[in-house]
Amino acid sequence: MLKRLRADFRLSIITILGATSLLGITPFAIMRFLQGDLVAGAIDTTLVLTIFGGMAYAWITGDTRRSGMVLAIIACSGAVVVAVVVGEVGLFWLYPCLVTTFFLVNPRVATLLNLTSIGALVLQGDVFQDDIQKWTFTATAMVVSATAYAFALRTNSQRERLEQLATIDPLTGVKNRRSMDEELNLAAAHAERTGIPYALVMLDIDHFKKVNDEYGHGVGDEVLIDLVTLIRHSTRKSDELFRYGGEEFVLLLPGVDGAGLVAVMNNVQHILRKKMTHPGGPITVSVGVALLKHGESVGSWLERADGALYEAKQAGRDRVVFSDTMPGTTPELAT
């Protein structure tokens, strides 16, 4: 539970909102029922139940974006309704909502919600004792919103940077192994639901250690970057490339199998053979390919692709080996 909260910032904000509403609003709901103010008590109870329900939905489904939007709207509109019903005392409930919205939804939507909430109360003149109180509230609410906006922008920027550092390989700019694990699990689940074929391609640069030893790691880095650039240019936008480690990469190809997959791999290897070079001459790549089988685990899928890559290395390198027999081919395809 704590691990999930640390990993998902929006879920942590939703959880805090749910807990504070339960602990902070419930006593007021009880008090108002005891005082005979049934309308205000019902509004408070509805707010607590709705917010708590939104929190439960976020935990169960993991859909924090949608639940965050709903909770932001409920919090702001609920605060406005409470202020209208109970009077100026209810104005205080809007201030925490003005801050919270910026952590539940993106800054533009939060700004719109806040301005709408403030405007709704300003237009409702009965909430305030006089014009001085009304414009004082407006000014302070705007200051709170502006401060929260600036803080949210800064926080979002830092969080996105941290997420990028955690999931992107800094040298090549492709996703790293951590991202690959998540994407492969999603691909396997999607294939199971839809029946769409997925191919896993493992690529390893031949004699890469020799390149580093003879020409330096700077040249080796350039070779890695060139490989990524060439693969990206020769594959579709829907295809995902990951750096598996060192000079080894993984390519995830959705929606291709059979003769189509063979054609794709022929094209990729043709381009790599033609354009991959370093100061000592051409660079070659060994490739292993595995199609995801029905009901197969991601671990088994990876093992089969890795086994095909090993076969390509053992057979002399600079070739593509398929773990599965493609139509019109043998398991090994040397191009």
Q: Where are the domains of the chain?
A: 2-167, 177-333
Q: Which residue has the tokens 């089988």?
A: 293
Of residues 97, 151, 148, the one with CA closest to residue 121? 97
CB 58 within 8 A of CB 14: yes
* 247 classed as catalytic: yes
Tens digits of pLDDT across the chain (335 residues) = 677 777 677 888 889 888 888 888 889 889 989 989 898 889 889 988 998 898 998 898 888 889 999 999 998 999 899 888 888 888 888 999 999 999 899 889 999 999 999 999 998 878 888 889 999 999 999 999 999 999 888 887 777 777 777 789 989 999 999 889 989 999 999 999 999 999 999 999 999 999 999 999 999 999 999 999 999 999 999 999 999 989 999 999 999 998 999 999 999 999 999 999 999 899 999 999 999 999 999 999 999 999 999 999 999 999 999 998 765 454 444 44
Q: Which of 247, 248, 303, 311 is catalytic?
A: 247
3-state secondary structure of 37: coil
> What residue type is 275 in one-letter code?
K
Secondary structure class of 207 (helix, strand, coil): coil
- Whole-model pTM: value is 0.59
Beta-strand (E) ranges in the chain? 198-205, 240-245, 248-254, 277-278, 281-282, 285-291, 320-322, 332-333
Within a 10 A sphere around the Cβ of 85, how many other Cβ atoms? 16
198-205 vs 248-254, strand pairing mode: antiparallel
Neighbours of 150 (CB within 10 A): 12
List beta partners, residue 252: 200, 240
CATH number of 177-333: 3.30.70.270
Contacts of 278 (CB under 8 A, 6+ apart): 211, 215, 219, 222, 223
Report the run of H or E that residue 230 belongs to, with start and end: helix 217-234
Tokens, residue 49: 């139940």
Alpha-carbon gap, residue 174 to 232, rounded angstroms: 10
